[in-house]
Amino acid sequence: MSQPAPPLPAPPLALLAELTHRCPLACPYCSNPLTLERAANELTTDVWRRVLSEAAKLGVLQVHFSGGEPLIRKDLEALIAHAASCGLYTNLITSGMALSEARARALADAGLDHAQLSLQDTDAAGADLFAGSKDTLAKKTASAAMLRAAGLPLTLNAVMHRGNLHHLEAMIGMALRLGAGRLEVAHAQYYGWALRNRAALMPSRAQIDRASEIVAAARARLSGRLVIDYVPPDYYAARPKACMGGWGRRFLNVDPVGRVLPCHAATTIAELVFENVTEKPLAEIWANSAAFNRFRGAGWMPEPCRSCERKELDWGGCRCQALALTGDAAATDPACALSPQHDEMFAAAQAESAAPAPEFIYRRMDGA
Amino acid sequence: MNAAGIEASGRPALARGVKMRFDEARQQWILNAPERVLVLDEIAHAVLSRCNGEISINELCRELALEFAAPQEIIQADVLEMMSEMLHKGYISL
């Protein structure tokens, strides 16, 4: 007798479309992999159009155009227009470094629903230091004004770490001044480049506690004016975050060369083989790819996850972090206090945050 | 003003960057907002599909009272509470 086919997974909600790894900035906590893809290997406009159509048909509701810097792609407007024609909610994740008034208007005219602009610091010297570039703050504040003038709703994304957390209040003030409706206060997440730079970025427990207080007070004070999303750093947490809302549950990422990933850091897990949109339909990859099924649901979990009552809340935390810190992608995420490695992780974070910060290793095309 | 901190004379609209649509794949109404998707039940859909910036919460509740054959005072209390939460989370503007 043949086995019944396994049930299809629920469709994904969001697609992260990483159009390119090219970027004018060199942030030492970049979420791109350590090995970056060159322009010659990037997917063509036609393939991206097909991916967007397939994503919408599969049940994706939102597409995030990201990179690298997606503005570097000259077909960005065409891809936004195509996504909008498929009914997708379109979000642009940008550094804002190469924006012009005409381009901002073209993005809005193409049907862009929302823009998310990164901000490295509220202080010009700090912003340049953390972006590994020049004149970043002035260019970014000008870009914010261009996006707003084009009628686009704006989120500021502020990656926070030991070097800029003392400017959190100023960051909230800047979000208001720039007309953002939303601010993401996102502590650096330590994979890839940020893991390389962990000692230079890791805040102290006292800095985290102060940041949490500032966010709580600002949320109450600015209710109805500014939405603040807060992503705490899990090194100091007792329970892991539900990374990506669970592996292969809500989210997929197509990288610049077409690989389909369950998260943007998944290529760090060398045991996984990722399928490519140039070879298979997106729906087939979502449902059947061994990489997606490897950690989907709760069946793969070891103890103490397997018998944990929170296993379908946090979905075992982050696989990339488990690999980076324990050497085993299937281990309990050390962010969880029930992990045997948790105390070691916490102690390492405290020691690094108390020691002088080393120099940054900047994100470069030729690797760290 | 009332306990929810919102005037019933206010004219709510979906906030900039927030869009309502029917999600064919899951057969439900949703709100798309920056980095968030909110699933709407029948009542939430009935309320939010009237948030066009032109009709007041008062008028909106009068329509709902007729549509759902329920007392307007009870509907209004629920709607004001919902509006307060939606405003705080950035889904609507007033």
A260 in helix, strand or coil?
strand
DSSP 3-state assignment of A21?
coil
Question: A199: closest CA among A322, A362, A350?
Answer: A350
Residue A166, exposed/middle/buried by CB under 10 A (0-12, 13-18, 19+)?
middle
Query: What residues of B are in contact with residue A91 (Cβ under 8 Å)?
Result: 34-35
Contact residues, A window 117-156, toward B, CB-based 8 Å cutoff: 152-153, 155
Q: What is the distance in angstroms between the Cα of A330 and the nearest Cα belonging to chain B?
A: 28
A262-319 residue pLDDT tens: 999 999 999 999 999 999 999 999 999 999 999 999 999 999 999 999 999 999 999 9
Nearest to A324 by CA among A161, A159, A192: A192
Total beta-carbon pairs less than 8 A apart between chain A and chain B: 51
The DSSP result for A84-141, as a single string, is HHTT-EEEEEE--TT--HHHHHHHHHHT--EEEEEE--SSHHHHHHHHTSSSHHHHHH
Q: What ipTM did this prediction achieve?
A: 0.91
| Cα A141 to Cα A284: distance, rounded to the nearest angstrom | 42
pLDDT at A339: 95
Confidence of residue B1 (pLDDT cuts 50, 70, 90): very low
Which one of A8, A53, A60, A61 makes the best mutation probe of the B interface by having the most chain B beta carbons within 10 Å? A61
Structure pTM? 0.95
Tokens representing residue A113 in the block: 């629903």
CA-CA distance, A205 to A47, in Å (whole number)?
A: 46
Strand (E) or helix (H) holding A261: strand A260-261
pLDDT digits (tens, 9 = 90+) for A160-187: 999 999 999 999 999 999 999 999 999 9
Place of tokens 């504040």: A141
Give the pLDDT band (50/70/90) at residue A232.
Answer: confident
Q: Let me know if A92 is exposed, middle or buried by CB neighbors in 10 A (0-12, 13-18, 19+).
A: buried
Total H helices, total E strands in chain B: 3, 5
A151 CB contacts (<8 Å, ≥6 apart)?
A: A108
Residue A164's pLDDT is 97
pLDDT in tens, A88-121: 999 999 999 989 999 999 999 999 999 999 999 9
Burial class for A177, CB neighbours closer than 10 Å (0-12, 13-18, 19+): exposed
User: Domain B13-93 maps to which CATH number in 3.40.50.261, 1.10.10.1150, 1.20.1280.50, 3.40.50.300?
Assistant: 1.10.10.1150
Determine the pLDDT at residue A277: 98
How many CB atoms within 10 Å of residue A282? 24
Q: Is A249 on the interface with B (CB under 8 A)?
A: no
Which chain B residues have a beta carbon less than 8 Å from that of A61?
21, 23, 30, 32, 37
Q: Which two tokens stand for residue A153?
A: 């709703």
Using CA atoms of A353, A357, A360, A361 in order, give the dihedral in degrees to the nearest 10.
-70
d(CA A148, CA A152): 5
